[in-house]
Amino acid sequence: MPAHIPVERFMRVVMTAIQNNPDLLKVSRHSLFNSAMKAAQDGLLPDSREGAIVPYKDQAQWMPMIGGVRKKARNSGEIATWDVHAVHENDDFDFELGDNPFIRHKPTLGDPGKLIAVYSIATLKSGEISRDVMSVNAVEKIRTKSRGKNTPWNDPIFYDEMAKKTVARRHSKVLPMSSDLDDLMRRDDGLYDIEGASDKQVAGPRGLEQKLDALADMRDEETIDHEVDEKSRKSASGSSPADADQRGDQADTSRKASGDSAPQSSDADNSEITVDVALKAGASAREDGRSRKAVPAKYKTDEKLLEAYLAGFDGDVEDNGDVDESEPGGEE
């Protein structure tokens, strides 16, 4: 706690806050103590001007107010001045954005009328001036995300102060902030549904066919690798030892190259897949209970492979042109 705030005074302010809001007696004592500790760490008083301790469900929550935010900003050394004001319907108010932004506000001395906007003007140490304006409708969108029932939002006396804090909170995102001041601005995040349904970007549903394709690709990679290895072993067993050694050296070289280089294109991958492999993959897919439409992408790019895969799935090999793998004109 800062030296300028005596412990006795801080304790009196906390007791007054509890007396003014009896619902704080119903919350967890541990959370109430922690909220008071956070206020002390921030060097602010829970007097509803610099900050407030509010109940949320069965917990107490420390909520800095605009007076406390401005106080911390002045002491941070990052901002020279920071003014935040409320605009009412009977005030003379004008503002403009663009190359020459400005805000002009002349409050009325009579009945101010309803709140229509709030604005924030910060002057940095460099002399640069930064501005932000929020309409009351924009403020209301934030207020509706408040989770607590007994927060200052629901007290007409503090509504303007909470609205001013809202524009200050948004403005702070583009201002140079010390770590302490940034932490202060986030103290009451728990009281807001910051990621409410209205703000979430909901990704479009992925089609069932796409999901099945991805699953089929993952499973068929293992099947193809196994079948290719098995075919290589059978071929090696029926040839001379010298040929087998040569193929083994070529396989080792190929594996090393594949481990050190980037993945090859899908066309290159398809060139290594034979019609026989596609046939077996289709038959395996049927046995596993997969959908006929979930054809792996590697078989879709080649018409012969696609026909072979579907023929294998349907168990109709002869109707697929006998799936002859020989080169044209290469009959023996």
- Candidate from 52-56, 61-65, 151-155 with smallest mean pLDDT: 151-155
Residues 79 and 136 in one domain: yes
Residues 59 and 94 in one domain: no
The reply to whether 71 and 35 lie within a common domain is no
Domain assignment present for residue 270? The answer is yes
Alpha helices in the chain (DSSP H): 7-20, 29-42, 66-76, 136-143, 156-171, 179-185, 208-237, 241-260, 266-271, 275-287, 297-300, 303-314
pLDDT at 21 over 80: yes
For residue 117, pLDDT beyond 90:
yes
pLDDT band, residue 74 (cuts 50/70/90): confident
Question: Taking 80 as the threshold, does the pLDDT of residue 108 lie above it?
Answer: yes
Q: What is the rounded distance in angstroms from the CA atom of residue 208 to the CA atom of residue 198?
A: 26
Instruction: Of 64, 298, 98, 329, give the one whose Cα is nearest residue 181.
Output: 64
Examine residue 329 and state whether it is found in any structural domain, yes or no: no
Residue 190 falls inside a structural domain: no
Are residues 98 and 166 both part of a single domain? Answer: yes
315: left (phi over 0), alpha (psi -120 to 50) or beta: left
Indicate the residue among 132, 159, 174 that finishes a domain: 174
Please count the structural domains in the chain.
Answer: 3
Lowest mean pLDDT among 18-27, 104-113, 141-150, 204-213: 204-213
Instruction: Give the domain-ending residue among 14, 34, 64.
Output: 64
Q: Among 116-125, 186-195, 300-309, name the one with the lowest average pLDDT.
A: 186-195
**111 pLDDT tier (thresholds 50, 70, 90):** very high
Residue 249's pLDDT is what?
55
**Whole-angstrom Cα distance, residue 299 to residue 85?**
65
Same domain for 310 and 220? yes
Instruction: Mark which of 44, 64, 84 sits at the end of a domain.
Output: 64
pLDDT tens figures, 205-232: 444 445 455 555 555 444 445 544 555 5
Average pLDDT (130-150) is 81
Q: CA 294, 214, 212: angle at the middle one, nearest 5?
A: 35
Q: Do 114 and 213 fall into the same domain?
A: no
Q: Are the C-beta atoms of 247 and 232 separated by less than 8 Å?
A: yes
Lowest mean pLDDT among 84-88, 120-124, 285-289: 285-289
Residue 145 included in any domain: yes
DSSP-based three-state secondary structure for 152: helix
Identify whether residues 71 and 169 lie together within a single domain. yes
Residue 40's domain comprises 1-64
Indicate whether 135 belongs to any domain: yes
